[in-house]
Structure formats: C-alpha cells, structure tokens
Amino acid sequence: MFYYLIYIYIWILGFIIYSNYNYLRLFTYFYFLMFFILSLFMLLIINKSILWYEIIFKFYTIDFLEISYIIGLDGIAISFILLSAFIILFCFLLYWNLNYKMNIYSFLLFFSLWVLLNIFSSLDLFFFYIFFEGIVIPMFFLIGIWGSRKRKIYASYQFFVYTLLGSIFVLLVILSIYSNKGSSSFDFILNSYFFSNRQLIWIIFLFIGFGVKVPIMPLHVWLPKLMLKHQHQDQ
C-alpha cells in the first residue's frame, strides 16, 4: 500500500507540477497527511509480538549477484516510517507559504519520504546501503536551496562530503560480508556464522560509519563546528 501511494503521487504530480502552486500545495499536503495516517494505522494493526518481519514483498532479484530487492515490515520498521512521515509532513507545513520553486521542494520531500521508506524496510544490505546514501541527495539540495543561513551552499557541500566519507566504512563492511558469504540478505546473514575477530572489525567500522551519519560523540565535531561558522557569519 505504501508503494501504491508512491506511484499515485508520481503520476498525479506529473500533471500538476507545472500548474498552479495552490493545487500542488494542497495535493502534496493531503498526500503526506494520508501517508502519515496510513503509517499510524499500520502501526496499530501489525502484530508486534512476532520476532521477524510480518509483511514481506519481493520485487526482483539480480540473479548473477544474488541480490534481491525485498522489503519487510515489522513494528520497529513501521514506527520509524511513521516518524519519517510525521517529520516530512511537519517540514512541508513549515514552508506552507513557500513560492520559490515550490514544485521542486515538494518533490524533494516526496523523494526523501520514499527513500526513508526503503531504508527502514529493505531486507538486503546492498539496497539498504543504496537508499541509506540516497537520502543525502535530497538533503543536499534542501540545505543548499532553502537553507536559512548565508553559507548554506558551504553547509550543503560539507554535509555531503563528511557523510560520504563516513559511509565508506559501511560499504567496506557490506562488501566484506558479501565476499565471505556470497549473499547480502538479512535473513541469510542472521543465520550465518562469522569469526569473532572479523565481527569486531565490522562493528568498529559500522560504529564509525553510522556515528558520522547520526552524528554521535566523538564523531560529531564537524556538525557544531559548521554551526558555529554559520552563526559567526550571520552576526
């Protein structure tokens, strides 16, 4: 159902993206609101006592690589999707009176929501990584075009470079797992055995990669540094 909403948005948006901004604004608002309500409904009806994904869809498989585009939903995934829908809806309402490139802004929010949906539901490490890095694309433009500070262009590039460098550590872990087991499926990896020393190295790399993304101490120093630069420039 989530993906049907995505496709519906794409087709309708194609007809109204160059039309009156009032129609686009209303349509996008009702779309995000409907997505949020659907996410809340899914959270209420899903069986949270099941220890594995209750709803699983397999779209296609790259046979020679044994990589599958599979999505799965459980209580945790739905909770994060609901939170994402709320944040996207709030961001849209915050810029309700926006007139500058309203169509692009709406599409970037929609694209962000679609990427977040895939991040929290992907059951394959490669596709998780693709979508996990894909969120940087709309964020780069949102910061660079609609940022509130004078050095927003500098902020968007610094955000892009730092997060990209951090993601290299995550990619190395995924490639290492794939080279050892020949699969990147969550289900397969969960039931596989790995040497403890190798797991320790992977945990360290993942801590660095995700630590930069979050960011968490002590990998967060670039973010307050960037904010202080902006505050000094604004003054």
For 19-71, what is each residue's pLDDT tens digit?
566 777 887 888 888 888 888 888 888 776 766 777 777 766 666 667 778 88
Does residue 147 have a pLDDT over 90?
no
**Does residue 219 sit in helix, strand or coil?**
coil
Residues 157-183, mean pLDDT to the nearest whole number: 83
Peptide bond into 218 cis (omega under 30): yes
Among 38, 134, 124, which Cα is nearest to 82's? 38
- Tens of pLDDT, residue by residue over 117-143, are 888 888 888 888 988 888 888 888 888
Tokens of 104: 């692009």
Q: Could you tell me the two tokens for 222?
A: 């670039």
Residue 95: φ, ψ to 5° = -110, 40
Partners of 68 in the β-ladder: 61
Rounded CA separation 168/218 (Å): 18
For residues 89 and 92, give the distance between their C-alpha atoms in angstroms, rounded to a whole number.
5
- pTM for this structure? 0.79
Pinpoint the alpha helices (H) of 122-195. 125-134, 136-146, 152-181, 186-190
Helix runs in 56-151, H state only: 75-94, 102-121, 125-134, 136-146
Among 118-132, 151-165, 179-193, top mean pLDDT goes to 118-132
Q: Which residue has the tokens 């000094």?
A: 232
**What is the sign of the dihedral through the CA atoms of 155, 17, 39 and 95?**
positive
